[in-house]
Amino acid sequence: MDHNYALYKTMLVIRRFEERLLAEFSAGKLAGTTHTYIGQEADAAGIFHHTDPDDVVFSSHRCHGHFLAYGGDPYRLAAELMGKSTGLVGGRGGSQHIQWRNFYSNGIQGGIVPVATGMAMAEKVRRTGKIVLVFIGDGTLGEGAFYESLNIASLWKLPILFVLENNGYAQTTPVEKGVAGSIAGRFSAFGVPIWERDTTDVLQIASAAQEAVGYVRSEIGPGCLLLKTFRFSAHSKGDDPRSPEELARLRAFDPLDLHSPRISAAERAGAESEVSAIIEDAFRRAESDSFPSLDMTTNTQ
Ligand SMILES: Cc1ncc(C[n+]2csc(CCOP(=O)(O)OP(=O)(O)O)c2C)c(N)n1
Ligand SMILES: [Mg+2]
């Protein structure tokens, strides 16, 4: 598949999945909460364009986009979000706690970082050639375990790529009010090299990811991919202190709009209809599936 088309389609799958998810919530079809990746699609699409299928991934509360770009099935994710037995973890994990192949997510901010660091050590000891990617947000820089992990990862030269997606907010707190000093400085203090990009252009993110992933895989040590991005939707479903004007201004950074001129109008239309069929099928099948048994002693998967 053409490089530009593949990147566009990955971003479109994420965008349409998340839009549909918000619509399902508004229609009262889903319980709990969710955090969507709308606006940040170029990060996941660009990064997973240059990873290996067996690499290990740790994601956070905002995991759907990472999971879909990793190659996860939208139907199994939709079923998980609906609490169905066909979901990724039998409907028990919901939006933030999913697992499939080497993909793991956990909603406790920073909680995944030491676990990911330990997994990187395991991959190094077993000489598998796999690397670990761990995604965190700007608001997670306040978690102490993150710095302990950076220290160990650097000392022991572990194959882990820290991906920091700085979307400017931790829920409703702007980054300037929560993070002192320089973000890059927090990595360089531990001797971790940084690939920093202030763009939502998927091609630029993909090329930075290719370099960073190559460095980490070469067994020299950990790396950091430091990406500036923008979330267009609320933190979860309705909590957004930003004005309509600010949200409108952000649309200039829409990664799909930036990338779409690189493919033809026919390709754009083709991607739209293919993706819309995938999303429709995912949610329709998930909705008709059954809920797991409430008997906790049985394995529902
Ligand atoms: C230890 C912990 N504290 C608080 C929360 C509640 N919480 C969930 S996401 C979030 C903000 C996260 O901000 P950031 O790391 O920037 O990620 P983003 O939501 O912007 O993707 C908060 C406070 C949590 N999940 N875990
Ligand atoms: Mg943030």
**pLDDT tens digits for the chain (301 residues)?**
689 999 999 999 999 999 999 999 999 888 789 999 999 999 999 999 999 999 999 999 999 999 999 999 999 999 999 999 999 999 999 999 999 999 999 999 999 999 999 999 999 999 999 999 999 999 999 999 999 999 999 999 999 999 999 999 999 999 999 999 999 999 999 999 999 999 999 999 999 999 999 999 998 899 999 999 999 999 998 889 999 999 999 999 999 999 999 999 999 999 999 999 999 999 999 999 999 987 766 655 5
Residue 264 CA to ligand 2 centre (angstroms): 33
Global pTM?
0.97
Residue 1: what pLDDT? 63
d(CA 228, CA 197): 6
Q: Which two tokens stand for residue 216?
A: 């980490």
Q: What pLDDT, on the 0 to 100 scale, is given for residue 118?
A: 98
Report the distance separating Cα 162 and Cα 181, nearest Å: 19
User: Does ligand 1 lie within 6 Å of residue 39's CB atom?
Assistant: no
Q: Which two tokens stand for residue 217?
A: 């895989």
Residue of 108, 109, 113 to test ligand 1 pocket, by largest number of atoms within 8 Å of CB: 109
CA of 41 to the centre of ligand 2 (A): 14
d(CA 135, CA 125): 23
Cβ < 5 A residues, ion ligand 2 = 137-139, 167, 169
> Do 140 and 146 contact (CB within 8 A), yes or no?
yes
* 190 Cα–ligand 2 center, Å: 22
Q: Can you tell me which atom of ligand 1 is nearest the CA of 40?
A: 21
In the three-class reduction of DSSP (H, G, I as helix; E, B as strand; rest coil), residue 165 is classed as strand
- The Cα–Cα gap between 223 and 154 comes to 9
Q: Do residues 82 and 286 make contact, with C-beta atoms less than 8 angstroms apart?
A: yes
- Is 142 close to ligand 1, i.e. is its CB under 6 Å away? no
Please tell me the predicted confidence (pLDDT) of residue 239: 85
Mode of pairing for the β-strands spanning 103-105 and 160-166: unpaired
pLDDT at 299 (0 to 100): 56
Cα–Cα nearest to 288, from 134, 64, 75: 75
Q: Which ligand is nearest to the CA of 136?
A: 1
- Asked if 292 and 92 count as a contact pair (C-beta separation under 8 A), the reply is yes
